[in-house]
A and B are shown apart, each in its own frame.
Chain A
C-alpha cells in the first residue's frame, strides 16, 4: 500500500496522540513533547501494521522527525 503525505501525517498524529494540526512535514520530536521513546515504538508498529514495513537495525532510533518517517516510506517505495 502506498500512502500520501497527508495519510502519513494523520498516522503520526495518531501514534503521538496529538492534534493533527500539530504535525507538519517539518515537525520534529523537539516540537512535540509527546514524541518520546514510547511514541517511537508506536511509529515502529504503525509502519509494520499499515505499510508492512520493517526497519533495519539502528534505524528505529532515527524516527525523531516527520521527515525521517517519510524518508523510510519513500526509500521503501511506499510513498505516493
Chain B
C-alpha cells in the first residue's frame, strides 16, 4: 500500500500590508531594508475577527469545490496550527462541524509550527499505510501576525497569515505525489528562542511586553536551521539510500525568501533545485511548504518521477524531512 498527496488548496488572509505601511513610526527601519534583508515585499494579515480556523475552513472548501474529494469520504482530519480558535476544544473538532465532515471522522490538532506540515504528512501517511484511514484532510494554517508586536519589526516584518488544505489518500489516481518516508526530530533546548511566553498555563498574564508577544532570537534560529536542515536531509537520504545529487527539488520551510536563498547557498545547492516563494505573503509557518508546493504544481515546475525533499524546521525546536516522488505532469 502507498499513500499519496492528492492535491493542495491555498487560502490567504485578504489584507495586504506593504513594507511602507509597516515601517511608519518605527525608528531604524525602512521598507528597502526589510526587502533587502528578508526578500519580503508585503504580507497577508488576518482581520481582527479572522482566525487560522477560518482560513483552514476556506482552504478546505476550495479543495472540495475543486471536485477533488467527496467530503463524506474523509475519515481523518488533522489541523496543524499554533493559532487555535480556542484553548479548548481543538480547532479540528470545530472544523469537523463547520466543514460538515462525517461524525465518524477522527479529528485532532497538531500544535507544531514550521515543522508542522512535514509532521502532518508523516502522520497522514502512517494512518493510510496502517489502514487506519483512507482519506486524510490535512489543514495547516496560522495567524502569527496576531502574536507580533506591531513595532517589533524583527518579527512583524516576517510573518503572514494563511492556510492550506491537503488531501492525503490511498488512491493514486490524479495524485500530485507519492509520499515517501520521513525523518523527524526535536530539541526542546531551543524552546526559548521562538516563543510566546504569556497567555497559557505557565504564565497566564504578564506586564512584560516581550512575554506577551512573539520573541525570536534570530541568530540562534538561523544557527539551528543551518546545522539541522543539513543533518535531517542527510539522515533521510541515508534512510532511502539516495545521494543528494539524485534529489530534483528541496522544498524548505519558507522562513523568508532571503533565508531560503542563504540556506541553499550555504549547502551549495543549485538555485533551480530550491523553490523560493511567498515574497508577497510572508512566513505562514506550518503552511509555507504546501503553499510553495501548490505554486510549483500550478506552474509545472516539477516533472513526473522527480524526487523532492520537503524540510520543515523551526519553533520547538522541531524538524521533519519527507521524501516525495512527483507524479503530476
Contact = CB atoms under 8 A, between A and B. Distances in A.
Contacts, number: 55
A76 interface: no
A37 interface: yes
A58 B227 CA distance: 13
Contact of B223 (A37, A38, A49, A55): A55
A56 B222 CA distance: 12
A44 B223 contact: yes
Nearest to A43: B219
B266 A48 contact: yes
A26 interface: no
B218 A54 contact: no
B274 interface: no
A49 B266 contact: yes
A44 B37 CA distance: 14
B276 to A, nearest CB: 15
B217 interface: yes
The residue in A37, A38, A48 that gathers the most chain B C-beta atoms within 10 A of its C-beta is A48
Given A54-B227, A57-B190, A45 B266 contact: yes
B263 A40 contact: no
Contacts of A59: 223
Given A45-B265, A49-B265, A61 B226 contact: no
A63 B219 CA distance: 9
B262 interface: yes
Contacts of B230: 48, 54
B220 interface: yes
Given A38-B37, A57-B189, A45 B217 contact: no
Contact of A40 (B189, B219, B227): B219
27 contacts: A37-B154, A37-B219, A38-B154, A40-B219, A41-B222, A41-B259, A42-B262, A44-B223, A44-B226, A45-B263, A45-B265, A45-B266, A48-B227, A48-B267, A49-B262, A49-B266, A54-B226, A54-B227, A54-B230, A55-B223, A55-B227, A57-B187, A57-B220, A59-B223, A60-B223, A61-B217, A61-B220
Interface of B: 37, 154, 187, 189-190, 217-220, 222-224, 226-227, 230, 259, 262-263, 265-268
